[in-house]
Amino acid sequence: MIRRPPRSTLFPYTTLFRSPFQHENFHYNADEDYYVCPMGQHMTRIGTSHSKTASGYRSENTRYRARNCKGCPLRCLCYKAKGDRRIIEVNHRLNEYKRKARELLTSEDGLKHRGRRCVEPEAVFGQMKFNMAYRRFRHFGKDKVTMDFAFLDRKSTRLNSSHNRESRM
């Protein structure tokens, strides 16, 4: 029987603990650098791959491969590839960032800050994302983000004024 942690409102059960066969739920031994699959088999490191996103961010993914999946009773649940060994890719830096964020958000101070989080800006960001298809800020730094907000404000003002003109006619 696979144990599951208690349900948290911060990290919903359905997203993080959906399946014991997702590599996020495998046990990782950092000292010897290997993962353990649900069947107890070690997945050893076979190399790294580098990728670059459209925005220019470079990430490094480490690849791990199981020793032998032939005859495994959980193979059909674990993966559907034709090969005889499962390979997973893990971004250790991303996992570390997620761990730090989880610690900060669930700390006493983090819970206090989240409790004081204002509801009013949420509607503004929701409108930006849905109505204007604006998914992320394209610049870094306070001044440049302020410039992005000013751009969006002008864009929404123009859209609203053209809509108002059309409704008056």
Convert the pLDDT of each residue in 109-152 to its tens digit. Answer: 988 887 777 666 667 677 777 776 777 767 778 888 788 778 77
d(CA 82, CA 95): 28
d(CA 52, CA 130): 27
Amino acid at 112: K
pLDDT at 19: 79
Q: pLDDT band for position 156 (50/70/90)?
A: low
pLDDT at 5: 53
* pTM, two decimal places: 0.59
Residue 16 has pLDDT above 90, yes or no: no
pLDDT single digits (tens) 29-62: 999 999 999 888 999 999 999 999 888 889 999 9
* Beta-sheet pairing, 27-29 with 87-90: unpaired
Bridge partner list, 44:
34, 65
